[in-house]
Amino acid sequence: MTTRDFHTIIIGSGPGGSTVADELTQAGRSVVIFERGHNHLIDPAHPDDLMQVFSNDELKYTERHFLGPDPWLEPRTFRQSEADGDRLHVGEVNNLPATVGGGGVHADGKLPRFREDDFRVLSELGPIDGATVADWPLTYDDLEPHYATAERLVGVAGLAGANPFAPWRSSPYPMPPGPPMYAGLVTSEAAGRLGYHPYPAPTGVNSVPYDGRPACNNCGFCANFGCPIHAKGDPVAMLRRALRTGRAELRADAFVSRILVQGGRATGVEWIDRDGQTHQELSDDVVVAAGAMETPRLLLLSGFTNENIGRNIMFHMQTYVLGEVPFRVHGHIGRSVTHAHDDHIIVDDPARKAAQAAGLPWIKGGFVEHASPAHVIAEAKLYPWGHEHRRLMRDSPMRDRLLGFCMQGEDLPQATNRVDLDPSVRDVRGVPVARTTYKVHRHEIVASQHHGARLRSIVQEAGADRIFLATSPMATDELGTVVHSPISMLPISRHVAGTARMGRDPKTSVCDEWGRLWEASNVLVADSSLFPTISGYGPTLTLVALAIRNVRAFLGRQAEVKR
């Protein structure tokens, strides 16, 4: 069946797609949002009634894939390089939820802005062999007003001025930080004593009632869980605004299998419903916000041929440094992370020296989350059965005696790191799945080793006697890791970017400087696929701000076309 009821089709209801829906509907346009996953979030007919199905249930989220995707039905594939053959692994590959709200629903939402120099890494620091480092086609100053809008829309709790490395800002955070976690206070004090600069992490979680939703009650089931009281604002705040206008339809369980293109313009999409029936929906424009792994998959399924599609995928190299302390830290209570520090993002003298010693021009680390790990079932799975199990669970070293850090290390873009279509693995609908080919650059390994050692000294200062260090990905030849299963080679960051990079030259980019496909100017990409570099910060606030900037320009452009 073919229908044509809307100005714009939006593919994906995560932070990117929901932001675009909000902007377009506020401007008077009608939109339909296609979402392949189920709707557990919002009643489209009564957007002020948020659903009440999220719970503090570890099995539901981490074992039974409540928010999808089920990796048996919608697998992805992975290999490190072409030398591995078609694939090393089939199943879960850095999956974000497939559900209304996308990854925003179960992220714990640290939402820092990128720094000014993150937009011009090539000019500031220079090239690195083997990496396709590039400047962004915009500056921090261009994006700053949209960052401010994004923070207001989502509702970011933070403290302006608390982080000496933060970029300039035109307005304060819309609300103050929430209560600190005890473990975060202990590690912050230790970091401060050693000359680092910890601060309350900017978080998309209400610290006070905001936008008609309550303040967080620090239930402790935050990262990887839906919020039972909807204190997380991203992207429910934007989705709700869009639906309230009456100009947005939310179509869940609707998988877009192809963008229809005629004469260099998109005319609509082909989509598959929950019963496997194929339909067409036509429209003036199409917005692709399927996330940085599914967006290139869809572009390739649609027959776009730009050689850069899927290339330069970036994940963040995560470095975990955790220490066991002889006192209880109550790590299972709170918002997963309440403190951070940015010192490792700065290319200082010690970092320069470490780079030179390794034959690199520079290294950059990343945003350091002061983390307290593990939930009950995750902990129980680690221990042997019997009497010892009972003792360990009572003492709870994983939940209650561990503190430390996760550094989101900047991951350099490389043309050989890419998403393409797997030659033979298909999803439950019979559609080719995304295959990732990915190996970290030497830069990430050297940066992890250099900054990992610095983080270790902070954990020691905090009173830890046993300290563990791990990375994601865990196994690369240069790390010399003993575990060499394909799973250990997978990055697990859930921060993905770069697969439809924006730029000024169609030979080196997929989208123009406003996020429009070079191959079809009425197709806007609105997710972190656009990022030329990923920085050491989580991508979400930046992709929301970028979506606001680009869709506003898109509206202007469309108006010009029609006049």
The residues of the shown chain that bind ligand FAD, judged by CB under 6 A, are 11-17, 34-37, 96, 98-99, 102-104, 106-111, 223-224, 255-256, 289-291, 294, 298, 494-495, 527-528, 538-540, 543
The DSSP annotation for 480-497 comes to T-S---GGGGS------B
CB of 105 to ligand SF4, least distance (A): 10
Half-sphere exposure of 82 (CA within 13 A, CB side): 4
Whole-number Cα distances in Å, 105 to 41, 245, 331: 8, 22, 22
Give the residue with the Cβ less far from ligand FAD, 237 or 464: 237
CB of 472 to ligand SF4, least distance (A): 22
Q: Residue 324 binds what, of ligand FAD, ligand SF4, none (CB under 5 to 8 Å, by partner type)?
A: none
Q: Residue 178 and residue 206: Cα distance in Å, rounded?
A: 8
Q: Residue 546 and residue 259: Cα distance in Å, rounded?
A: 22
Q: Which pair of tokens denotes residue 109?
A: 């939402």
Give the residue with the Cβ less far from ligand FAD, 175 or 252: 252
Give the residue with the Cβ less far from ligand FAD, 147 or 450: 147
Sorted by sequence, the CB contacts under 8 Å of residue 455 that are 6+ apart come out as 319, 321, 344, 368, 404, 405, 407
Whether 371 and 404 have beta carbons less than 8 Å apart is answered as yes
Place of tokens 């928010």: 67
- Measure CA 311 to chain center: 17
Q: In what order do the strands lie in the sheet with 520-525?
A: 248-251, 31-34, 8-11, 285-288, 520-525, 516-517
Give the residue with the Cβ less far from ligand FAD, 131 or 371: 371
CB of 257 to ligand FAD, least distance (A): 7
Which residue type, as a one-letter code, is found at position 476?
Answer: T
Q: Residue 356 binds what, of ligand FAD, ligand SF4, none (CB under 5 to 8 Å, by partner type)?
A: none
Whether 153 and 147 have beta carbons less than 8 Å apart is answered as no
Q: Residue 495 binds what, of ligand SF4, ligand FAD, none (CB under 5 to 8 Å, by partner type)?
A: ligand FAD
The strand ranges marked E within 17-149 are 31-34, 76-79, 89-91
Give the residue with the Cβ less far from ligand SF4, 155 or 413: 155
- Measure CA 121 to chain center: 20
Give the residue with the Cβ less far from ligand SF4, 174 or 296: 174
CB of 181 to ligand SF4, least distance (A): 10
CB of 60 to ligand SF4, least distance (A): 13
Give the residue with the Cβ less far from ligand FAD, 445 or 472: 472
CB of 123 to ligand FAD, least distance (A): 25
CB of 14 to ligand SF4, least distance (A): 17
Q: Residue 205 binds what, of ligand SF4, ligand FAD, none (CB under 5 to 8 Å, by partner type)?
A: ligand SF4
CB of 272 to ligand FAD, least distance (A): 9
Q: Residue 374 and residue 397: Cα distance in Å, rounded?
A: 10
The strand ranges marked E within 273-411 are 278-282, 285-288, 317-324, 337-341, 366-371, 402-409
Q: Residue 283 and residue 271: Cα distance in Å, rounded?
A: 13
Q: Residue 107 binds what, of ligand SF4, ligand FAD, none (CB under 5 to 8 Å, by partner type)?
A: ligand FAD
| Chain residues in the site for ligand SF4 (CB under 6 A) | 205, 216-219, 221-222, 225, 227, 229, 231-232, 335
Give the residue with the Cβ less far from ligand SF4, 231 or 517: 231
Q: Residue 298 binds what, of ligand FAD, ligand SF4, none (CB under 5 to 8 Å, by partner type)?
A: ligand FAD
Q: Residue 204 binds what, of ligand SF4, ligand FAD, none (CB under 5 to 8 Å, by partner type)?
A: none
Give the residue with the Cβ less far from ligand SF4, 134 or 205: 205
Q: Residue 443 and residue 78: Cα distance in Å, rounded?
A: 22
Place of tokens 């639906």: 243
CB of 220 to ligand SF4, least distance (A): 6
